[in-house]
Structure 1
């Protein structure tokens, strides 16, 4: 987490004269932060790139440096970034393919559009790590054929994970003598499901991988549903390829994490999801694909449940009909109110009523509302004990007042202070004070 001074370097409202001061006084770490800014002039880009390696790497990744701006011998890491982005000089790839530093060759092996000569050199590299990285990234058929038969299991393993691998080669890798190779081939979604299904009685690690495959025959899924390893069944529970019968069977499974994983299934029936919500800790409802896909009638049904944990499922949506949103905003249960509080469109009166009813329990969620006015945010930071997460959220809010930001800057929590320093609403005079805390000179 950056210090408040470094966070100011990200503040989009930083005036040009203060930005110029920061660049002139930057050290390596601060220069890297400044390299992320969207308002750098060409001269400032050159100044940062010429003076600081880390900043040059970030500027290259952002497309602000060109191949002609970089000497690959002097700045190999910058040149590798440009090669990664497909914007480097092809001659560099041939140069780096023979570099004595293994890490340089590993980086090169993942670059897009490698010239054939460089790829051939990497495929014959003495380092297994270099060849393995090439195996998972290359799309060249001749190289894939060669690497799928490589004598080292590590290389064959990562070749088996490459989704560009031809079907016939993936099918052959399912019979590899090494477990880790068969595991990767079983998990590769482009491996034919009918072929992969023959591994349902193989090693436990392979069955765990196989349970994630989206195209197995139904019979194979049902067999995995009875596997003795809970992790296999947990992986299976999230698989979009399983049918409703198996979904309902897994809903009765008390194995570790099986039912919690099932809640993430995109087609879990709502009646099962409502039951899961009351029996297992399923995590933030916003992450549940089935809730994201629910229609207005389904949301209304969930919101009408007698169970607060079920109402929370609907409350997590951020596009609720107004009447339903307002109904949940007035819910008698703090957990439901906490879920709906960040919903856009809630009025200052509604947000204030939430704080009146539940205080600090909902303070962070209220602060996360994009429409929360400055007065509501002021109340949150002025009402002890303010939760740390609430301070961080207020500190990043575009409606935060100078007084609220001053409180966040003075907070012992460094993340809250940094968020306040990066907030465009921070007064320029305060930005200047933060800059003055650092001695001049890099």
Structure 2
């Protein structure tokens, strides 16, 4: 097995007879002493990659699907998820993982769910428990499963409020911990998990199931077979599991605000963080948490969708940069607050939610700001009115022009003008513009000195021509992308099949412009 064969397996132009030959190679498997790939991938990983690429092909014939499905027990599940196998093709007794994959995709049969719910293999029951749309009797059976990990998996995924409420009272603390984060749990059940009122105590947890208590797990445990999380502890009250249960319930949007608010001043930073994540609390609770001494909690409040503009304005002056950055990414932060943040906070290259929510008047005012950093924030929004977009494209500040350069709809002459004005500072972003024509991309690829980031954009640009792609081969990272580009001349692609970089080889082998005769020569 090698990267060339993996690339060919993904090549959409690979002839059917070569697909057959690759399937035969996959069936033979790697030699026991086969060397690793030059990039470090073991031979068995390459074999798995070959099978995955073959399974993902959209042009597989029925006989090819059958041949792949016969390789091992895992491949039928890949084929099922990729749409090559349906319910009529799968016997759950022969291909249980494929049947479970179809159930997970919503394409399985109800009788399969009942079969797996009674299967003696708990790993199959756990996989079943995560599948959506299970019949009510199957969910009832899984909720009562003797293996708490099966019930816990159902607790994560069920959308049935009665089942979720039942699992919140489960005697095993691990199941309660899982269900605490499920938004299908009725508010009263979540309140009970937080307060303990009306809830019988849990009888066991994963710690006391496997250790003599009292026990605290060493955070630096060296036992490779130990499955307990670091710091797990139980003295009979299942302490660490209960703490996680509280944290998940506190951040669950379905939890009653009054039950959550009671933890806003808890001594545990972890639990206050969870409170700060809850989106439905009274404004005074967020205001109180906005003054918490822990910056991470204040940042959590700043990100919380339930936080109002008043708190956002207050946190915009926070001494911690991550708190201020979180304010800038909050959708309800007033647009004018961004102007207060730009002098002290780097806000990233993507459109901020307040900019995306800004009114036309606010956008126009921002584009006319004397502060280039504010104009840059507006320029990152790529659905601006054409006249505003074009004005920003002509901005004398390179950071503004760089932000607007990838904006769809910019005319080639405007893109060239930006490069003429700002040069190297904007070339990569101009190259990323989806409307950049091939001749402009070729000009950018020949720019001196070379703009390496621009070469990487050009190498994967759908409008790139052969003239634009050839200079990209000089850059290590762009070379991989260019090797896969269908506009690269076939002769160049063939030469790249012997490149010393295995990633380049795989990319070239997957290039649909590779001549079929060459493909045939390279498949044993």
Normalising by the smaller structure, the TM-score range is 0.7 to 0.9
Q: How much has 1:349 moved relative to structure 2?
A: 2.0
Task: State the secondary structure of the residue aligned to 2:149.
Answer: helix
Find the structure with the greater CA-based Rg: 2
1:346, CA displacement in angstroms? 1.4
State yes or no: 1:96 paired with 2:96.
no
2: distance between equivalents of 1:438 and 1:207?
Answer: 64
Contact preservation (8 Å) 1:208, 1:232? yes
Check conservation: 1:97, 1:105, Cα contact below 8 A.
yes
Say which SS state the counterpart of residue 351 (structure 1) adopts. Answer: helix
Distance 1:52 1:366 in 2: 48
**What is the alpha-carbon distance in structure 2 between the residues aligned to residue 363 and residue 43 of structure 1?**
50
| Partner of residue 196, structure 1 | 260
Query: C-alpha deviations, 1:390-423, integer Å up to 9, x for none?
Result: 333222211111233344456422xx44533544
3-state DSSP of counterpart to 1:285: coil
8 Å contact from structure 2 (residues 8, 519) kept in 1: no
- Per-residue CA deviations over 1:116-153 (Å, capped at 9, x if unaligned) read 45434433445443322210111334432331122333
Which residue number in structure 2 is paired with residue 321 of structure 1?
385
C-alpha separation in 2, matches of 1:269 and 1:90 = 51
Deviation at 1:365, TM superposition (A): 1.1
Distance 1:68 1:10, change over 3 A: same
Change (3 A) 1:32 1:420: farther
Once the two structures are TM-superposed, the CA of residue 36 in structure 1 deviates from its matched residue by 3.5
What is the distance in 2 between the residues matched to 1:19 and 1:355?
47
Displacement of 1:356: 2.9
> Is the aligned partner of 1:222 residue 2:287?
yes
Separation in 1 of the partners of 2:7 and 2:428? 22
The 8 Å contact of residues 395 and 408 in structure 1, kept in 2 or not, is answered as yes
Aligned residue in 2 for 1:383? 447
Contact 2:188 2:256 in 1 (8 A): no
Written as runs of structure 1 = structure 2, the 5 A alignment for 1:12-411 is: 14-15=12-13, 18=15, 21-22=18-19, 24-26=21-23, 27=26, 28-40=48-60, 45-46=65-66, 48-51=68-71, 56-99=76-119, 102-176=122-196, 178-202=242-266, 203-255=268-320, 257-286=322-351, 288-383=352-447, 386-408=450-472, 411=475
Cα distance 1:246–1:65, how it changes in 2: closer, same or farther (>3 A)?
same
Measured in 2, the distance between the counterparts of 1:147 and 1:30 equals 42
Number of aligned residue pairs: 434
Shift of 1:100: 5.6
SS at match of 1:129: helix
TM-score by length of 1: 0.87
CA contact (8 A) 1:23 1:48 kept: no
What CA distance in whole angstroms lies between the structure 2 residues aligned with 1:360 and 1:54? 50
CA pair 303-245 structure 1, distance change in 2 beyond 3 A: same
Residues 21-58 of structure 1: CA distance to partner in whole angstroms, max 9, x if unpaired?
A: 24532544234224434455555555544557665434
Structure 2 stretches lacking a partner, 5+ long: 27-47, 197-238, 494-512
**Which gives a bigger RCO, structure 1 or 2 (Cα 8 Å, sep 6+)?**
1
Q: How far did residue 188 of structure 1 move?
A: 1.0
Task: Name the SS of the counterpart of 1:313 in structure 2.
Answer: helix
Q: Structure 1 stretch 144-153 or stretch 20-29: which is displaced more? A: 20-29
**Secondary structure at the residue paired with 1:393?**
helix
Report what 2:523 is aligned to. Answer: 440
Structure 1 unaligned spans of 5+: none
Shift of 1:59: 3.4
CA 1:405/1:141 → structure 2, altered by over 3 Å: closer, same or farther?
same
- The worse-fitting range, judged by mean Cα deviation, of 51-60 and 374-383 is 51-60
Q: Distance in 1 between the 2:7 and 2:84 partners?
A: 21
CA drift of 1:354 comes to 2.5
CA 1:396/1:10 → structure 2, altered by over 3 Å: closer, same or farther?
A: farther
TM-score by length of 2: 0.74
CA deviations over 1:165-203 (Å, ceiling 9, x no partner):
112111111214722212111111112223322221223
Alpha-carbon distance in 2 for matches of 1:156, 1:372: 55
Over the aligned positions, Cα root-mean-square deviation in angstroms equals 3.0
In structure 1, C-alpha distance between the alignment counterparts of 2:248 and 2:10, rounded to whole Å: 41
**CA distance in 2: counterparts of 1:208 and 1:23, whole angstroms:** 55
- Cα offset for 1:379? 2.5
Per-residue CA deviation, residues 89-133 of structure 1 (Å, 9 max, x unaligned), is: 333333434556554333221001223454344334454433222
Contact 2:321–2:345 (Cα < 8 Å) also in 1: no
Alpha-carbon contact 1:9-1:19 (below 8 Å) kept: no
* Contact 1:175–1:182 (Cα < 8 Å) also in 2: no
> Residues of 2 paired with 1:308 and 1:366: CA distance?
19
Distance 2:60 2:489 in 1: 21
